[in-house]
Amino acid sequence: MSICFSLACKKDKQRWDDFVLAHDNATAYHLFAWGEAVVASYDFTMEYWMATADDGLIAILPAIKMRSLTGKMHLCSLPYCDLGGMLVKAVDAEQQLHIQTQFMQHISEHYSDVNIANIEIRDSAAKGLEATEVQKGEKVRMLLPLPNDADTLMAQFKSKLRSQIRKAEKNGLTFRVLSGDSFRFSHGANEDTAGEQAFNDFYAIIAENMRLLGSPVHAKAWYQSLIESYKDKLYIAIVDYDDIAAGAALVLTTNNKAVIPWASTRAQYNRLAPNMLLYWAVLSEACHRNMQEFDFGRSTVGEGTYKFKQQWGCVAQALSWKHYYNGALKDDKELNSSFARALAENAWRKLPLALTTALGARIRKYISL
């Protein structure tokens, strides 16, 4: 098989998205919109690679050429999310391996020629893990199959989970959901009053919680760019208590799958169980949109977020993140210093919120996680 590799440009957007929408393993992150949002908000370069053969487009690899905090250029597929990686047209296993091998060889050689040594590919296993296969400390994504309607979903939850959702409602919490195509941004501001309030509530909650986690928050422009790029393939949910936002989440969709990259609640309202109503809000909206799978995002097996997601009935799927340095595969343990990261996180938590929000918007673009 003779394969031709090329970089996608704006005119290839429909062709690219058609390929993504037809692929069983595609995620919302694979859509052209993710790269468009990165370019619009952070001015990095889209490196969206296409592989074509005689029968047309056979594989894609979305990636961003970006600069790190140290100033070094690297390639990431994809930054700011859990997944990217290559999508290959359905063929037999031998042909698929051939295409993947040829693709990675081409990518490694291309970026070696332009002095980019570090390439990161974020992918996942092909299928879910049985409970007996899950290893403590393993990084996984948590997937929940969805029925045809929200009532059926509620009925299939265990009684304890249903009672926690009802408890949140009895505590006076309510929720609202806004579709991305209902927002109207102009010169950095949202002209629609309801949309402006929802967006500001969402960002304020995310900024507060990122500080508590010891991590810089994205610039407002990043979330605005996502909304403008994904339009009706995005929605934001807000949980309120006495007209005060207590929790917020952003969800992306593609085909029949939904994924939640950001969700947070305000700690002072946690006694009212806003997280339970928040996740019910995004799940019920996913059912309304005819989604068949909901991706709760990345978790570490055995930790609190893993257990929280597990109670909703999720199936774990192992994440497979690979780093290539000068074409050689490297172990993550060789690349990260957990001690240095812990020091930075502890220092960040002690800074004033206004300062972490302002600084975070300046430096978050350089951090691919």
pLDDT at 94: 87
What are 38-96's pLDDT values in tens digits? Answer: 999 999 999 999 999 988 999 999 999 999 888 899 999 999 999 999 999 978 888 88
Does 337 map to a domain? Answer: no
Among residues 124, 121, 44, the alpha carbon closest in space to that of 316 is found at 124
Q: Does 112 share its domain with 189?
A: no
Can you give the pLDDT at residue 360?
Answer: 86
pLDDT of residue 91: 81
**Mean of pLDDT values over 151-172:** 96
- pLDDT tens readout for residues 263-304: 999 999 999 999 999 999 999 999 999 999 999 999 999 999
In a domain, 100, yes or no: yes
Cα–Cα distances in Å, from 192 out to 99, 136, 185, 189, 290?
47, 46, 8, 9, 27
Mean pLDDT of 232-259: 96
Instruction: Report the greatest alpha carbon distance in the chain.
Output: 63
Question: Is the pLDDT reported for residue 334 higher than 70?
Answer: no
Identify the DSSP state of 302. Answer: T
State the pLDDT at residue 37. Answer: 97
Domain count across the chain: 2
- CATH number of the domain at 178, please: 3.40.630.30
Residue 55 resides in a domain = yes
Closest C-alpha among 223, 277, 228, 274 to residue 250:
223
Write phi, then psi, for 172 (nearest 5 degrees). Answer: 95, 10
Q: Domain span at residue 26?
A: 4-123
* Residues contacting 120, CB < 8 A, separation 6+: 74, 75, 76, 77, 321, 322, 323, 324, 368
Task: State whether 113 and 165 are in the same domain.
Answer: no
pLDDT category at 329 given cuts 50, 70, 90 is confident
- Of residues 132 and 125, the one with the higher pLDDT is 125
Q: Do 156 and 243 belong to one domain?
A: yes
Q: Which pLDDT value is given to residue 45?
A: 96
Three-state DSSP at 332 gives helix
Within this chain, do residues 59 and 118 fall inside the same structural domain, yes or no?
A: yes
Question: Cβ–Cβ contacts within 10 Å for residue 188, how many?
Answer: 8
Per-residue pLDDT tens for 1-23? 689 999 999 999 999 999 999 99
Is the Cβ–Cβ distance between 367 and 69 less than 8 Å? Answer: yes
Of 288, 189, 187, the C-alpha closest to 235 is 288
Domain contains 267 = yes
Q: Which two tokens stand for residue 204?
A: 């304020």
Does residue 109 sit in the same domain as residue 213?
A: no
AA letter at 166: R
Say if 155 falls within a structural domain.
Answer: yes
